[in-house]
Amino acid sequence: MLEIENLHAAVDGRAILNGLTLAVAPGEVHAVMGPNGSGKSTLSYVLSGRDGYEVTAGRVRFRGEDLLALDPEERAAAGLFLAFQYPVEIPGVTNMTFLKHAVNGLKVQRGEEELDAMQFLKLVRQKAKALGMSDDMLKRAVNVGFSGGEKKRNEILQMAVLEPAFAVLDETDSGLDIDALKIVADGVNALRGPERSMLVITHYQRLLDYIVPDRVHVLAGGRIAQSGGKELATRLESEGYAAFVEKAAA
Amino acid sequence: MAGLVPIAETAGTAADSGADWLTGWRSGPADGSDAAPDWLGAVRADAADRFAAHGLPDRRVEDWRYTSLAHLTGLELDWAPAPADVAKESLPALVFGREADCRLVLVNGQVRPALSSVPALPGGTVLTSLAGALASGHPGVADLLKRRVAATGGALKALNDSWLEDGYVLIVPDGVTVDMPIEILSVGTGGALPPAYQPRNLIVAGAGSRVTVVEHHVGLCIGGYFANLVTDVAAGAEAIVRHCKVQDESREAIHIALLDAALDRGAMFDSFCFTLGGRISRNELRVSLDAPGAHCRLNGAYLAGGRQHCDHTTSVDHAAPETHSDQLYKGVLDGRARAVFQGKVTVRQDAQKVEGHQMSRALLLSETAEVNTKPELFIHADDVQCSHGATAGDLDAEALFYLRSRGVPEGQARQLLVEAFLNEAIDAVALAGMRLPLERNVARWMAERPRS
């Protein structure tokens, strides 16, 4: 589904990714782990097409398409979703309005019929309920005044409503207490399926106790330093990243 | 005193403004052409002398530093336009989007009863034309007008005084609450020569009364005209006056408006101005908080594109202790549009326990758009809380990316963020029924906005 080959990327002229190669098949959940500064967030922003992240070499194919040639909204229409590490606050735009524009923006781009107000309301209410989110949260401005946990839950709600083929979860566990973590993980697990893949980016192994990955990759120095099964995450937790950082620097 | 020019400094200005321009103005309403009382003739003549002495303000006048009227002096105007033939069906939809309970229509500054629908209003409330009120010798109207005309107020006010003839008059007796919003539709028509018209409006709200006025200014033409409006507001003790104005004049119109409000003890004046139209526009508010507990809220939202110039000028005088003022102006500029916000807050000596807050925010959608912000605080008391702030910038890039990453196309995402930006000012409109039409206007503007 997603094939990253020899990806090099720079921010402000500084190389962050240095030949990253990674492939995720349909239905698989992969975890990318790494210390601060290893390029985890850069990877998520390059994939979603944020300005200021310059790809200097390599390519990314997504469902057979050249992902890097697409605008952010086109990537979304192709089925890509990024759950932000720091969800953005948008004063003056309610969650409902935001979701409605997103749902119908995707439908229009895909040449499908837009949802009417009733269909949309029903869809969102049902998804919100499953995540334990109140109607009040839907009426509030996007992420404004939300706690850390509420913001992350809001990201998962968007994912549940938009049903992407591929989701990148960027440090979705950061800032969550254990109860919020369980709710978010349950929400993510509910979306797992044979046609949906995920890339779970995290610093800690903790999240992977709840979202159990098929593969684990260690990111160090802007490339994959090691890959393995879920037991690699447990090993990292006890041994730390030091060995990988040294190896990458060498 | 604001806007008044020392004579010596601008002695040459009137002549510089163009002899043709002044010749037309000089003619004034012909004596005996209306049923006005005798005192009015003297008032007009005196005002005409004042205007002649000062001429139009140029940009050397501090209050007009950022707004030039040079465009106006280049126009040959029809100072006494004949009543235009306007069919009721051609009038724009109401602000509220339904048949209004109460609407007074002015065409080129003159009240047109046949186009209006004014039902019986509660408690002896009067909504009529100034010409009618003057002819019938309404005592309250004459007294207030005489007082207000005597007050200085700059050259444009003197010009308006010199043509004192018609406008709308709203008088709400003590203790009366008028529930239905009173809608004033002011229509400008084109003509072989651009019409000039100068309505004088009065709102007198008695002690403990409550009333809401919605002014809608539109042009029924593509061409230009010059509207020079003055509205006098007097709010008695504990009165609540809400004034909501939608300025959607024709693209070539020049719209200069001054509203002068005096508030008695515990009175509240709530103003919202939504500016969309006009080539050059200015909405000036002067509010005098004359007694303890008086409170005003002045909010505005504006959308300007192409070569539009819009100016929002406010002056709040905290003349008494325990008075409050709050101001929020937000605007979106595109193309080569220019906006001006000048906000003056004066706290007099002994006016303790005063609060005055002011904020101006502008969103610039193009590199050639410009905003000039000039806050002025004159504080002569020590126990006061005053603040002011101003921002100008582009759309939030993070929010834009967030929306796009969720599948919202860029143009739509921009529109959504612009609407969200203005909604903060629109949300402040106390009148619930105004929100939707205002939001629709924003959506329409974003779709049709003129580019440079």
Domain ranges of chain B: 8-291
What average pLDDT does this structure show over B164-189? Answer: 94
Q: Which value does ipTM take for this structure?
A: 0.95
For Cα atoms B115, B117, B121, give the angle at the middle one, nearest 5 degrees: 150
Q: What's the confidence (pLDDT) of residue B10?
A: 35
Chain A residues in contact with B424 by the CB 8 A cut-off are: 91-92
Task: Assess contact for B310 and B302: CB atoms under 8 A.
Answer: yes
Is the pLDDT confidence value at B25 over 90? no
Chain B residues in contact with A76 by the CB 8 A cut-off are: 404-407
CB interface of A with B, residues 142-201, below 8 Å:
158, 162
What average pLDDT does this structure show over A109-137? Answer: 92
Which residues have a Cβ under 8 Å from the Cβ of A109 and sit 6 or more positions away? A73, A74, A76, A77, B407, B409
Q: What's the confidence (pLDDT) of residue B9?
A: 33
How does pLDDT run across B238-249, given as a tens digit for each residue? 999 999 999 999
What confidence tier does B96 reach under pLDDT thresholds 50, 70, 90? Answer: low
Q: Where is pLDDT greater, at A174 or A10?
A: A10
How does pLDDT run across B358-376, given as a tens digit for each residue? 999 999 999 999 999 999 9
Q: Do B424 and A105 touch (CB under 8 A)?
A: no
A-B C-beta contacts closer than 8 Å: 80
Is the pLDDT confidence value at B21 over 70? no
Is the pLDDT confidence value at B33 over 90? no
Give dist(CA A157, CA A174) in Å, integer: 17
Is the pLDDT confidence value at B344 over 50? yes
Q: Which of A206-215, B20-29, B387-396 is the least confident region?
A: B20-29
Q: Which of B133-137, B277-281, B308-312 is the least confident region?
A: B133-137
Q: What is the DSSP secondary-structure string of B386-437?
A: EEEEEEEE---HHHHHHHHHTT--HHHHHHHHHHHHHHHHHHT-S-GGGHHH
Q: What's the confidence (pLDDT) of residue B292?
A: 98
**Which of A81, A85, A88, A155 best probes binding to B when mutated, by most B CB atoms within 10 angstroms?**
A88
Chain B residues in contact with A164 by the CB 8 A cut-off are: none
In 3D space, the residue among B218, B346, B354, B212 whose CA is nearest the CA of residue B272 turns out to be B212
Q: Do B424 and A48 touch (CB under 8 A)?
A: no
Is the pLDDT confidence value at B99 over 60? no
Give the residue on A whose Cα is nearest the Cα of B409.
A73
Give the residue on B whose Cα is nearest the Cα of A93.
B420
Q: What's the confidence (pLDDT) of residue B452?
A: 41
Is the pLDDT confidence value at B188 over 90? yes
Nearest to A48 among B405, B413, B416 (CB): B405
Q: What's the confidence (pLDDT) of residue B31?
A: 53
Nearest to A51 among B401, B412, B420 (CB): B401
Q: Do B405 and A73 touch (CB under 8 A)?
A: yes
Q: Of the spans A198-207, B197-206, B217-226, which averages the highest pLDDT? A: B197-206
How does pLDDT run across B196-221, given as a tens digit for each residue? 999 999 999 999 999 999 999 999 88
Task: For chain A, give every domain's residue range.
Answer: 2-249
Q: Where is pLDDT greater, at B395 or B292?
A: B292
Q: Do A101 and B424 touch (CB under 8 A)?
A: no
Give the gap in angstroms from C-alpha A52 to the nearest C-alpha of chain B.
11
Give dist(CA B348, CA B320) in Å, integer: 7
CA atoms lying within 13 Å on the CB side of residue B39: 12
Q: What's the confidence (pLDDT) of residue B41?
A: 87
- Indicate the SS3 state at residue A223: strand
Q: What's the confidence (pLDDT) of residue B14?
A: 40
User: Topology of A2-249 in CATH?
Assistant: Rossmann fold (3.40.50)
Is the pLDDT confidence value at B3 over 60? no
